[in-house]
């Protein structure tokens, strides 16, 4: 079976297809492959042996062993390799198939690079196909809408400025019923930390802001949160190939932090947002180095726990397993610190097999979950490999420090009836930490 046999109708793709012409397709290919990508793409194309060793790396391929068209090498053959051989002279219908492959059948998790004998980065190649498709308007409806939101209001959830501020004030008020002296400081210049989150938190996971504020309060951290646009560190523009808008988002984020004169940015539990700030958007902008140090929450929680600023008097007793988000583990190497944090918090930890940098992707990252309902079934059935990996641990909970991973894992858990629950690190730390500032100070003030 090939991509033409499994075509899924998407409104935006169908409408963009009607406007494609041969010269537009050729011009987009030349702009990406011959100008932006250059020698790196040619080296990958020439080095690829079409050996298929990557097949055992991709969860889509492992989950559908009877269909070789889902292997990474087949995806390259159906998209970028096909474009190179044809010098960009392909039909509009072929471009539709390439868009579906690139946006919905590859998470750009880069696990396949570990299995390729010559180290070809299929995730990078997929990103070039997405860039090519973006230039032609061939982007799935739902993820294009989130990118439009970034362009209009500088966050992916169409959150207005007053709604953002109201959300922080609401969570501060909620938290003060437990910690009467707690504050969520706005725009505090010179703070040690600017705490940065993704837009789904104020939109529908506000408890994570509450928990973060409680952790900061208990640890006695000098911190602040911004009130102005740039507070959302997520980046769907990176995933659709709109690198120009990606650069605007990252510049806004860094300039906001520099204006507040903070010492470092601590990012919440999100993988792709961290990647976009520390490794992708900054490079597109031409920064020689980060303007401000960027720290992922895994590193930050490790720092708080290892220094004793947060104490855990009693560990979580239910069996848990650890999911390694692609962007922060395979892409940044936080596997060890993640395990130190989880073992500090949990008594009974069962590792997945394989684990760490070889762990299987959640199936939601790379913007795939953001492509919406038309492609959900493909995404979930295409990750039976992860369901099998989770089930084999016998754990009741899976710890995953990433928003997209939570969405993907929860879909898998429900679909395959695994009877598990996903936890953020912040969930566990808030639940387990010794709340000394309540016991010694705030309760006395209440009395």
Q: What is the pLDDT of residue 310?
A: 98
311 within some domain: no
Contact status, residue 321 vs residue 395, Cβ threshold 8 Å: yes
Containing structural domain, residue 19: 3-139
E-strand stretches of 301-406? 320-322, 397-399
Is residue 439, in this structure, part of any structural domain at all? no
Positions in the chain whose pLDDT score sits under 70: 1-2, 438-447
Name the β-bridge partners of 264. Answer: 193, 293
Q: Are residues 182 and 84 in the same domain?
A: no
Distance (Å, rounded) from C-alpha 106 to C-alpha 58?
8
**CATH number where 334 lies:** 3.40.50
Q: Which residues pair with 266 in a beta bridge?
A: 195, 295
Residue 4, SS3? Answer: helix
Is the domain of 12 the same as that of 129? yes
Q: Based on the domain organization, do 108 and 15 belong to the same domain?
A: yes
- Picking from 213, 36, 235, 5, the residue whose alpha carbon sits closest to that of residue 105 is 5
Residue 359 is given by DSSP the state P
Does residue 9 share a domain with residue 131? yes
User: Residues 177-223: pLDDT tens digits?
Assistant: 999 999 999 999 999 999 999 999 999 999 999 999 999 999 999 99
pLDDT score, position 439: 57
Give the number of other Cβ atoms within 10 Å of residue 445's Cβ. Answer: 8
Is 402 within the bounds of a domain?
A: yes
Q: How many Å apart are CA 307 and CA 428, to the nearest integer?
A: 18
Nearest to 134 by CA among 249, 243, 273: 243
For residue 294, the 8-state DSSP code is E
Residues 54-77 pLDDT 10s: 999 999 999 999 999 999 999 999
**Site of tokens 């911190």:** 223
C-alpha to C-alpha distance for 236 and 234, rounded to whole angstroms: 7
Helix H or strand E segment including 364? none
Q: What does the CA dihedral 224, 230, 233, 237 come to, rounded to 10 degrees?
A: 180
Residues 154 and 295 placed together within one structural domain of the fold: yes
Within 10 A of 49 (CB to CB), how many other CB atoms are there? 11
Helix (H) or strand (E) holding 431: helix 425-432
CB–CB of 106/363 below 8 Å?
A: no
- Regarding whether 166 and 118 lie in a shared domain, the answer is no
- Tell me, what's the pLDDT at 445? 47
Q: Give the whole-angstrom CA distance, residue 112 versus residue 90.
A: 27
Q: State the total domains in the chain.
A: 3
Return the pLDDT at 446. Answer: 43
Based on the fold, state whether residues 302 and 166 are members of the same structural domain: yes
Q: Are 131 and 152 found together in one domain?
A: no
How many angstroms separate the first and last alpha carbons of the chain?
71
User: According to the model, what pLDDT value does residue 223 have?
Assistant: 98
The pLDDT of residue 38 is 85
Give the alpha-carbon dihedral of 99, 100, 106, 112, to 10 degrees: -70
The token duo for 292 is 């401000």
pTM of the predicted structure, to 2 decimals:
0.95
Residue 208: both structure tokens together: 């994570």
Q: Enter the tokens of residue 433.
A: 């930490």
Give the pLDDT of residue 145: 97
pLDDT of residue 441: 55
């Amino acid at each position: 079976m090939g991509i033409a046999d499994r075509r899924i109708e998407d409104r935006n793709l169908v409408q963009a297809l009607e406007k494609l012409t041969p010269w537009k397709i050729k011009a987009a290919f030349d702009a990406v492959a011959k100008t932006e990508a250059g020698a790196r793409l040619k080296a990958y194309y020439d080095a690829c042996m079409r050996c298929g060793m990557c097949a055992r790396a991709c969860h889509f391929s492992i989950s559908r062993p009877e269909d070789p068209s889902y292997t990474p090498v087949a995806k390259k053959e159906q998209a970028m390799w096909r474009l190179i051989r044809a010098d960009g002279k392909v039909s509009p219908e072929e471009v539709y198939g390439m868009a579906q492959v690139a946006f919905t059948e590859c998470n750009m998790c880069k696990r396949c690079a570990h299995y390729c004998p010559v180290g070809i980065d299929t995730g990078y190649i997929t990103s070039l196909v997405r860039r090519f498709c973006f230039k032609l308007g061939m982007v799935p409806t739902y993820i294009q809408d989130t990118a439009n939101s970034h362009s209009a209001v500088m966050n992916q959830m169409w959150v207005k400025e007053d709604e953002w501020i109201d959300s922080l004030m609401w969570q501060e008020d909620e938290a003060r019923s437990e910690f009467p002296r707690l504050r969520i400081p706005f725009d505090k210049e010179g703070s040690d930390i600017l705490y940065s989150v993704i837009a789904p938190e104020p939109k529908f996971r506000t408890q994570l802001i509450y928990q973060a504020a409680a952790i900061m309060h208990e640890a006695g951290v000098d911190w602040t949160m911004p009130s102005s646009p740039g507070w959302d560190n997520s980046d769907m523009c990176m995933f659709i190939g709109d690198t120009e808008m990606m650069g605007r988002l990252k510049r806004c984020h860094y300039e906001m932090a520099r204006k507040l004169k903070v010492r470092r940015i601590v990012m919440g539990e999100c993988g792709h947002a961290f990647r976009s700030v520390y490794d992708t958007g900054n490079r597109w902008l031409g920064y020689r180095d980060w303007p401000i140090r960027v720290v992922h929450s895994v590193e930050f929680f490790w720092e708080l726990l290892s220094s004793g600023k947060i104490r855990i008097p009693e560990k979580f007793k239910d069996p848990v397993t650890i999911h390694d988000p692609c962007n922060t583990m395979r892409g940044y190497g936080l596997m060890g610190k993640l395990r130190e944090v989880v073992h500090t918090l949990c008594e009974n930890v069962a590792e997945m097999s394989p684990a760490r940098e070889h762990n299987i992707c959640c199936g939601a990252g790379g913007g795939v979950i953001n492509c919406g309902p038309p492609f959900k079934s493909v995404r979930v059935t295409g990750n039976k490999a992860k369901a099998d990996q989770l089930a084999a641990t016998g754990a009741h909970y899976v710890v995953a420090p990433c928003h997209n991973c939570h969405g993907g894992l929860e879909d898998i858990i429900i679909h395959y009836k695994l009877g598990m629950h996903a936890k953020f690190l912040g969930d566990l730390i808030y639940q387990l930490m010794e709340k000394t500032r309540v016991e010694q100070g705030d309760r006395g003030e209440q009395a």
